[in-house]
């Protein structure tokens, strides 16, 4: 959880850079990557609060194993569900709103049962600990892209 809190502080520090682009790195702006990351964070954290831990059904998957143990997300190869795409051009205000919501939701999941879970569309069920690891890896992936965009 501390890792995600640090990432949220990093996102906050990048707010002045949201309009920056580098098409050699990504078709999307810094703001798009930040907002996308926050949409995933908020959706997943909310998901942990609404699932019934008794229904948690972990399944082994080689893709899940590789991702969670090596953090490998190939750039531009995996298509995120549309509900996690920013609908409009991200603004400082839209990102700040999502950032504040993420902080609240992160606090809210602290006391949830360990078998609270989300179902990832490609990798299956993640319990609370695995969800937080996934969120850290996913956010890190987009922060690395942002770092590359800003190396102009």
Report if residue 21 sits inside a domain: no
Report if residue 141 sits inside a domain: yes
Q: Which domain holds residue 147?
A: 49-152
pLDDT, average across residues 13-33: 96
DSSP H or E stretch at residue 120: strand 117-120
6-10, 13-17, 26-30, 60-64: lowest mean pLDDT where? 60-64
Number of domains in the chain: 1
Report if residue 151 sits inside a domain: yes
Report if residue 81 sits inside a domain: yes
Report if residue 130 sits inside a domain: yes
Report if residue 65 sits inside a domain: yes
d(CA 106, CA 9): 13
Report if residue 31 sits inside a domain: no
Residue 146 has pLDDT above 60, yes or no: yes
CA dihedral (102, 87, 129, 70) in degrees, to 10, reads -130
What tokens were used for 35?
């907002």
Residue 76 has pLDDT above 70, yes or no: no
Question: What pTM was computed for the model?
Answer: 0.90
């Amino acid at each position: 959880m501390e890792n995600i809190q640090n990432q949220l502080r990093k996102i906050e520090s990048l707010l002045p850079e949201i309009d920056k682009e580098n098409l050699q790195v990504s078709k999307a702006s810094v703001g798009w990557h930040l907002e996308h990351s926050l949409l995933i964070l908020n959706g997943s954290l909310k998901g942990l609060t609404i699932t019934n831990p008794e229904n948690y059904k972990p399944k082994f998957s080689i893709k899940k194993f590789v991702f969670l143990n090596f953090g490998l997300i190939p750039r531009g190869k995996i298509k995120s569900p549309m509900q996690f795409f920013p609908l409009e051009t991200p603004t400082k205000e839209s990102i700040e709103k999502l950032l504040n919501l993420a902080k609240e939701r992160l606090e809210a999941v602290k006391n949830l049962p360990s078998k609270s879970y989300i179902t990832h569309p490609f990798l299956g069920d993640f319990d609370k600990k695995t969800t937080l690891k996934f969120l850290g890896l996913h956010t890190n992936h987009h922060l690395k892209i942002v770092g590359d965009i800003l190396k102009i």
